[in-house]
Structure 1
Amino acid sequence: MISEFIREQHRYTQRDICRIMHCSEDKVVPLIRRLKEFGVLKSVKYTDEQKNMSDLLDEDVAVTDVVEGDDEYLYVTTFVGVIVVAGRVLKCYPKYLPPNRTPQKELQQILKVLEKYNSKEQIISIFNDSSEGSTFNLLAVLLFLLQDYYENGVYTTTEDIVESNGFGEILWDKTINETFTLISENRPYYIDLQTKKRVTNDHDYFKRLHECVLTKASKELKEAGLLDLFEITDIDLTDEELDDFGDVEYILYRLEQELNTQFNTRKQLLLKTIYTYISQNGNLYDMDCLSLFGTNSFNLVWEHICADIMNNKLDTPLGAIKLPVPLKPEYDRKQKLIDLIEKPLWTATGKTAADTLIPDLISIAKVGTKWQFIIFDAKYYVPKLRAGTPPTRQPGIESVTKQYLYQLAYQKFIEDHGFDAVKNCFLLPTENKEIEDRGEVSMAMLHRLGLQNIQVRFLPAEMAYEHYLSGKIMDIGLLGL
């Protein structure tokens, strides 16, 4: 199977995509259309400025049809993760990694991050949604089946059998009514005790079917080169084929019958997934197959990771936050930090609006002997910051001004509780191994109000992911704020 790496937000020509897809221009046109339909590929006008950009603005997106040999447009990947389309595997890595690379190790870690990030969802993404409807997401189903197996094992059914003098629970009614009793000194003694034993039926239809589906799923992912990428061990449980279980209609009928009698939540979800897998009868080589595992919004993933590893206190009740001095009595202990930000008052109504400023994350840390109130903003940008040249690809003016306003919003709380210092900081991902101090962003008119300028730190993505996956809080002192 064709398998290639592509970079998020990179600009590709139609000829580039032909090379990546290993096909001619007439064959690549329907593939591009399909990727655009599901929002993982967008087109922009071909200009020198666009060619060098690393971010995609909504106003730059061109709504146009795909024409064979068209060199007026560039195509931009807006996805991080894995795309399988028409027998081709596209491994999409984040934009902070340099282009023209094969970052297998980095993408393995990113896929683990995406799995954890999505673990809060209780349903499996069996279908991809698009503007034109939905399509079966075979890749998500195959991954779910294998991961469920490694967490819970093979599908099992049990039955209870009765034994004489076994080691299970004694069935007293059956023992009294059906066995010989000895009476001694008016006390009954039972020579043979009837006991209950629960055994697994190794020849159960659904256990065998599950093993067959797992073996088939593992083989398909292995042939696509995805077992290594997702770091999943190969599964080979049986030589049986799906045809050995009857035709498709019969298998689906048996699954429906089992679902009607099964009340275990995990088993219900597993049976429904197997049912969908068999009824759709797809494979990764199908020309109509388009499967996705990943996200169009990796910026939200980066924000979530930073909030997690920096011990975000934004939604923590004030009474549960450790402060330099005890919480002042005028503050409600049940209030959260987010609730302290003022909302705009519209005097014509005498009421405040519902919306207000919302920081990404707030950390409260004791660094050495100093208590710091730190306002972080996790920015998913790849800026060019070179001495003597204007910055490019950097966060916009609205991001800068909001950071100053966040400090202003919390100024009273900070003064009331004796913090030694206030810090403002942008956190941006980098492929490098060390935290980089990249100076600060300043606006003199706001700094003159006594507000702190915004420091810029490039945070190694690999380090952030390691902390996130292991559930560890990062030492904020390492940032050197």
Structure 2
Amino acid sequence: MISEFVREQKRYTQKELCQILKCSEEHAIPLIRKLKEFGVLKAVKASDIQKNMTNLLEEDIEVVDVEVEENEYLYVFTFVGVIVVDGRVLKCYPKYLLNAKQPTDELRKIIKVLEKYNSKEQIVRMFNDRSESTSFNLLAVLLFLLQDYFENDVYTNTEDIIECNGSGEILWDKTINETFTLLSENRPYYIELQTRKRVTNDFDYFKRLHECLVTTASKELQDAGLLDLFEMTGVDLTDAELDDFGDKEYILYRIENELNTQFNTRKQLVLKTMYVYIDRRGSLYDAECLSLFGTNSFNRVWEKICADIMDNQLDVPLGILKLPVPLKEGYNKRQKLIELIEKPLWTITGKCAKDTLIPDLVSICKVNDQHQFIIFDAKYYNAKLELGTVPEGQPGIESVTKQYLYQLAFQKFIIDHGFATVKNCFLMPTENKKIEDRGEVSLEMLHALGLQNIKVRFLPADMAYEHYLEGKKMDIAALKL
């Protein structure tokens, strides 16, 4: 199995992709087309400007077919996570890791973050939904089978056994009606007690089938070199082969019947996953079976991480917020902070539009004994901000103006409740280990209105991930706003 690292949003030539995929251009072309079909690879016009860009703009994307010896286009991965196709594992790491060549440890932690980010979705992504036609996501199924086994053990069916004088629950009705009774002083005594014991059927068809599939999943992930990346241990539960359980139609028929008798949610999910796996019977070496674990929208993951660790209070009712003074009259204590933002009124209709300004996160906290109202915006950018040089890769003017407007939207609330200071701040990820003060961004015409300029802080991604995974909050004072 070929295993290679690629960086999100780095520009690759067709020749470089052939080297990564370790194949000729003729072999690489259908693989590149497949990656484009699934939306994890984009094409842009080859130019010196594009080669130096760290962000991908929608208007730069070219919708073109791929040809052999094509030098007119560069290719950009828009994915963070793991892609498997045709015996090739592409480990896509985030764009802010500029100096990493083999970032195994970093990607291992990012996978943990992605697992937590997706943990509320109680589904198995058995199918990719990025391609023109729905396709089987074998990697997701293999991962689920192994993770579920570690969490819940092997699939089991139990049966009740009636025993005489056993150690289980006493069946009094059966004991009274079916056993000999001794009477002494008008009190009944039972020499034999009918008891019920629940035992696991070790020879159950579905238990053995599940053991077979878990073992197969472990071997496939081991061969792909993914057990270590996902921090899993290989398991070998049985020597049985899938063919030992009957032909495909028979196995699927048995699973369908079992599904009709099982009402346990976990068992239903395991049975459905086994059904799809056996029905599709894909391989990680199959060029037609592209598998994904990760996201095309790591910017949303970064926003979620920052919201968690900075204690976002946008959706907290006003009555619960720790304000410098008690909530003033005219404010509803059940109203949420985000609901204070004004919506545009279209006068001819007499109605307000639904859409309005939505900040990423707002924190209300005490820093150095002062109540601060802090408006953060989590920006997933590789900004080059150095003294004496023109900024590159920074958030656009629309991001800057909106950040000022967020403060304006909360201005009345801030004044009414006597906050000592108001802060605006962009949070961007960095591969470095310390929080970096990158100055601020300002627009004098808005600053003149009494609005605070926007601080810029590079936040160590590894530090943010640690807090997110452990459920801890950041010390906002460390940002030195």
TM-score per shorter chain, which class?
Answer: over 0.9
Native 8 Å contact 1:79 1:297 kept in 2: yes
Offset from partner CA, 1:381-434 (integer Å, 9 cap, x none) = 001111101101000001001111110110110111111110100000000111
Normalising by structure 2, we get a TM-score of 0.99
Native 8 Å contact 1:428 1:458 kept in 2: yes
Describe how 1:257-336 pairs up with structure 2 within 5 A: 257-336=257-336
Partner of 1:397: 397
CA shift, 1:329, in A, is 2.3
Partner of 2:232: 232
CA shift, 1:261, in A, is 0.6
Distance 2:129 2:347 in 1: 44
CA shift, 1:193, in A, is 1.0
Partner of 1:159: 159
Native 8 Å contact 1:374 1:424 kept in 2: yes
Q: CA RMSD in A?
A: 0.9
Partner of 2:430: 430
Native 8 Å contact 1:362 1:374 kept in 2: yes
Matched residue SS, 1:227: coil
Q: How many residues align?
A: 481
Partner of 2:194: 194
Offset from partner CA, 1:19-49 (integer Å, 9 cap, x none) = 0000001111111001000110000000000
Native 8 Å contact 1:87 1:289 kept in 2: no
Partner of 1:92: 92
Matched residue SS, 2:237: coil
Q: Which amino acid aligns with 1:7?
A: R
Distance 2:332 2:420 in 1: 23
Is 1:380 paired with 2:360?
A: no
Native 8 Å contact 2:31 2:287 kept in 1: no
Distance 1:276 1:131 in 2: 19
Distance 2:157 2:347 in 1: 67
Distance 2:130 2:466 in 1: 33
Distance 2:425 2:293 in 1: 32
Distance 1:30 1:100 in 2: 29
Describe how 1:31-430 pairs up with structure 2 within 5 A: 31-98=31-98, 101-430=101-430
Q: Which amino acid aligns with 1:22?
A: K
Offset from partner CA, 1:166-206 (integer Å, 9 cap, x none) = 22211011111111111011111111111111111111110
Partner of 1:30: 30
Q: Which amino acid aligns with 1:201?
A: N
Distance 1:99 1:136 in 2: 35
Distance 1:135 1:347 in 2: 49
Native 8 Å contact 1:342 1:356 kept in 2: yes
CA shift, 1:59, in A, is 0.5
Native 8 Å contact 2:227 2:233 kept in 1: yes
Native 8 Å contact 2:259 2:271 kept in 1: yes
Distance 1:273 1:203 in 2: 21
Matched residue SS, 2:227: helix
Native 8 Å contact 1:365 1:372 kept in 2: yes
Native 8 Å contact 1:259 1:271 kept in 2: yes
Native 8 Å contact 2:169 2:196 kept in 1: yes
**Runs of 4+ in structure 1 displaced over 4 angstroms?**
none
Q: Which runs of no fewer than 5 residues in structure 1 stay unpaired? A: none
Native 8 Å contact 1:7 1:99 kept in 2: no
Matched residue SS, 1:115: helix
Q: Which amino acid aligns with 2:433?
A: K
Native 8 Å contact 2:362 2:376 kept in 1: yes
Normalising by structure 1, we get a TM-score of 0.99
Native 8 Å contact 1:325 1:417 kept in 2: yes
**Bigger Cα displacement from structure 2, 160-169 vs 312-321:** 160-169
